[in-house]
Amino acid sequence: MSSILKLLRVGIKRGRVTLRYPAEKTPTPEGLRGRPVLDFDTCIGCGACAKMCPPNALTVEEKENVWTLRLFYGRCIMCGLCEEVCPVDAYRFSEEFELASATREDLEVELQLLRVKCRGCGKYFTTKRLLDDTVAEYSELAGGYAGEFKEMIYLCPDCRRMDWSETLADAYREARYES
């Protein structure tokens, strides 16, 4: 059989394979990495995702008592690293892949969380949710020192360091007087 007839037969046998897109939906397999969706209620505001994001689609801004996470889908490469590093599984990759939009605002998501003041110096240092989460998760580990643990956790890293060195210095002095 001549090749042109063979080709014709292939065409007839396979028929039409195109879909009536967009009226007909394109099938997506399970586990598609489409638009990442951030769950606002779960996020604790640690900022790990923004640190990891290769194209800087996720950015964090810290201003006085507000911690802002911005997710700009225009830059997102759907790599899934944010989902991987998130300690509380706040990211979920949806099956949505049609992200074209005429306005930039449509592609922006913003989450604002409250920041807390340091008990020592009074500077804002981290989000309230992050501290609450830490207290809930680790208080048990502190055992009999749960009270001290709770006290210390509301200090900013600088004050915590000062607090620790003072405590150590006190302990050292005490030990010397005793001997």
Dist. CA 129–CA 126, nearest whole Å: 9
Dist. CA 12–CA 82, nearest whole Å: 46
Of 37, 60, 78, 152, the residue at the interface with another protein (CB under 8 A) is 78
Q: What is the CA radius of gyration of the chain?
A: 27
Of 37, 48, 81, 107, the residue at the interface with another protein (CB under 8 A) is 81
Interaction between residue 72 and another protein (CB under 8 A): no
Of 3, 12, 24, 175, the residue at the interface with another protein (CB under 8 A) is 3
Interaction between residue 17 and another protein (CB under 8 A): yes
Q: Considering only CA atoms, which of 4, 7, 27 is closest in space to residue 17?
A: 27
Report how far Cα 159 is from the mean position of its chain's Cα atoms: 27
Q: How far is the CB of 100 from another protein (least distance, A)?
A: 16
**Segment interacting with another protein, rule: CB under 8 A, options 73-81, 106-114, 143-151, 157-165:** 73-81
Of 37, 42, 48, 52, the residue at the interface with another protein (CB under 8 A) is 52
Q: How far is the CB of 104 from another protein (least distance, A)?
A: 19
Of 39, 61, 66, 84, the residue at the interface with another protein (CB under 8 A) is 84
Q: Where are the beta strands (DSSP E) in the chain?
A: 36-38, 58-63, 66-72, 91-93, 108-117, 124-127
58: CB partners within 8 A, 6+ apart: 49, 50, 69, 70, 71, 72, 82
Interaction between residue 73 and another protein (CB under 8 A): no
**Segment interacting with another protein, rule: CB under 8 A, options 25-33, 98-106, 133-141, 166-174:** 25-33
How many CB atoms neighbour CB 20 within 10 A? 7
Interaction between residue 6 and another protein (CB under 8 A): yes
Interaction between residue 92 and another protein (CB under 8 A): no
- Whether the Cβ atoms of residue 48 and residue 86 lie closer than 8 Å to each other: yes
Binding site for another protein (CB under 8 A): 3-4, 6-7, 9-11, 14, 17, 28-29, 31-33, 52, 54-55, 77-81, 84, 93
